[in-house]
């Protein structure tokens, strides 16, 4: 079984909470120089008014690491057509699992 890293996100569009656009995963031995593990892009539509939970995960070849860096790319502002269009939106991350 290959190692993986997984992040769980929540979206509630009516509350201005959106899934990330994507996530970059990085690793390091010393916490200073990081190498990329990979990128995951969100493919779930943000049009649903229902609350949603989504896991975004990446499987990779084994590496030696002490640190893992997760960079989730936010939408930034509520999109056109949304009640809060142009205003800052939220991104909720529940947990990060590394195995």
pLDDT digit string, tens, across residues 10-31: 999 999 999 999 999 999 999 9
Task: Read off the pLDDT band of 3 (50, 70, 90).
Answer: confident
Task: Read off the pLDDT band of 65 (50, 70, 90).
Answer: very high
Q: What are phi and psi of 2, to 5 degrees?
A: -80, 150
> Which residues make Cβ contacts (< 8 Å) with residue 18, sequence separation at least 6?
11, 46, 74, 75, 78, 89, 90, 91
pLDDT digit string, tens, across residues 28-51: 999 999 999 999 999 887 777 789
Tell me the domain boundaries of the chain. Answer: 4-98
CB 40 within 8 Å of CB 51: no
Residue 30: which of 65, 69, 75, 54 has the closest Cα? 65
* Edge-to-edge strand ranges of the sheet holding 67-73: 35-41, 22-28, 67-73
């Amino acid at each position: 079984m290959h190692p993986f890293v997984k992040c769980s996100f929540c979206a509630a569009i009516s509350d201005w909470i959106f899934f990330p656009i994507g996530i970059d995963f990085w690793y390091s031995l010393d916490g200073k120089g990081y190498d990329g593990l990979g990128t995951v892009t969100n493919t779930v539509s943000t049009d649903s008014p229902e609350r949603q939970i989504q896991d975004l995960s990446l499987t990779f070849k084994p590496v030696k690491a002490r640190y893992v860096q997760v960079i989730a790319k936010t939408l930034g502002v509520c999109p056109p057509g949304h009640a809060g269009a142009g205003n800052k939106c939220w991104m909720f991350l529940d947990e990060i699992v590394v195995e």
